[in-house]
């Protein structure tokens, strides 16, 4: 039985990925801040026959990430995949709103995400296992979204970081996958219906898990139209990008 650890697993894409892996017979290590939501998810999946370990963790407390991974790994009898999914989104108008929100976005989406990947790499290195690390970024890494500058910056930084880590860990037998979701309807993102090409978290999870199983270096969700737009978006005039978003 393969085992997967997922951060930010109590809702949205993380929860959908957990349910998708449960349907494939994986043992699950689920991590999030909200223990009540994790417990409810564990109860649901356990009733369906899944093996589930849960831990409450705020990923901004980066010193606790590795011990939490080690604890879950001990409970599950090892780990094959770690998915750094925890993140936040917010609309923030530059020079208008409190800058503290920008700081929080960068802390969670970039610094804490990097700490999660680093802890996963340490876990695999110390156990001498050929695991897989997955980082959930965003299509906003390809070009910044007006009104979400800090979010776009955090995801661009995370994608770049993951690309470097992929090359660094390749000779250690540890694979690294970057996930670039487009617009996904979840409770964390309001008014998603106004954005183009919106899909459900469940649809996103199926594509993501399929790509992870293939050990793809990069997964774009959904593949169309974003795999095409990712190559074109940087030549689109600012006026069009502003109008779309």
Which tens digits make up the pLDDT trace of 184-199?
988 776 666 667 788 9
Query: What distance in Å separates the CA atoms of residue 52 and residue 15, rounded to the nearest whole number?
Result: 13
- Residue-range domain boundaries for the chain: 3-244
98 pLDDT band (50/70/90 cuts)?
confident
91 has pLDDT over 90: no
Q: Considering only 75-84, 119-128, 186-195, which range has the smallest mean pLDDT?
A: 186-195
User: What was the pLDDT predicted at 187?
Assistant: 74
More confident residue, 57 or 190: 57
pLDDT at 245 (0 to 100): 67
**What pLDDT, on the 0 to 100 scale, is given for residue 99?**
92
Among candidate residues 95, 181, 174, 108, the one with its CA nearest the CA of residue 140: 181
| Res 113: pLDDT | 98
Percentage of the residues of the chain whose pLDDT score is greater than 70 = 96
Q: Tokens 């990947």 — which residue?
A: 117
According to CATH, the topology of domain 3-244 is: Rossmann fold (3.40.50)
199 CB-near residues (< 8 Å, 6+ apart): 182, 183, 184, 185, 221, 222
What would the pLDDT profile of 128-167 be if each residue is shown by its tens digit? 989 999 999 999 999 988 889 999 999 999 999 999 999 9
Query: Can you give the pLDDT at residue 178?
Result: 98
In the residue annotation, 21 being an active-site residue is answered as: no
CA distance 105 to 110: 8
Tell me what the pLDDT averaged over the chain comes to. Answer: 93
Distances (CA, A) of 120 to 62, 160, 186: 12, 17, 26
Inform me whether the pLDDT recorded for 23 exceeds 80: yes
Q: What percent of the chain has pLDDT over 90?
A: 77
Under 8 Å between Cβ of 12 and 5:
no
The pLDDT of 111-127, averaged and rounded, is 97
Q: Provide the pLDDT for residue 136.
A: 98
Q: What is the pLDDT of residue 207?
A: 97
Q: Write b or e for each residue in 147-172: b if 16 or more Cβ atoms lie within 10 A of its Cβ, otherwise e.
A: ebbbbbbbbbbbbebbeebbeebeee
Residue 142 has a pLDDT of 93
Mean pLDDT of 221-235: 81
Kindly tell me if the per-residue pLDDT of 109 is higher than 70.
yes
Catalytic residue among 21, 26, 151, 161: 151
**Whole-number pLDDT of residue 190:** 67
Q: Which of 14, 52, 13, 50 is nearest to 32 (CA)?
A: 14
């Amino acid at each position: 039985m393969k085992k997967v650890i997922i951060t930010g697993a109590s809702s949205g894409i993380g929860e959908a990925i957990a349910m998708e892996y449960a349907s494939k017979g994986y043992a699950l290590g689920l991590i999030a801040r909200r223990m009540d939501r994790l417990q409810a998810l564990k109860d649901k999946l356990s009733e369906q026959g899944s093996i589930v370990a849960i831990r409450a963790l705020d990923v901004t407390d980066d010193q606790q990430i590795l011990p939490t991974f080690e604890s879950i790994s001990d409970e599950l009898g090892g780990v094959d995949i770690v998915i750094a999914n925890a993140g936040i989104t917010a609309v923030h108008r530059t020079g208008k709103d409190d800058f503290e929100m920008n700081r929080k976005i960068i802390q969670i989406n970039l610094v804490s995400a990097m700490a999660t990947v680093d802890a996963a790499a340490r876990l695999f290195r110390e156990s001498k296992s050929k695991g897989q690390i997955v980082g959930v970024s965003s299509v906003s890494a390809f070009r910044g979204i007006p009104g979400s500058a800090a979010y776009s910056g955090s995801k661009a930084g995370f994608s770049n970081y993951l690309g470097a880590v992929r090359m660094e860990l390749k000779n250690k037998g540890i694979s690294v996958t970057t996930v670039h979701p487009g617009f996904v309807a979840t409770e964390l993102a309001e008014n998603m219906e106004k954005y183009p090409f919106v899909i459900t978290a469940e649809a996103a999870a199926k594509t993501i898990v399929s790509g992870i199983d293939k050990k793809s270096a990069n997964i774009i969700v959904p593949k169309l139209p974003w795999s095409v737009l990712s190559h074109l978006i940087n030549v689109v005039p600012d006026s069009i990008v502003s109008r779309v978003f």
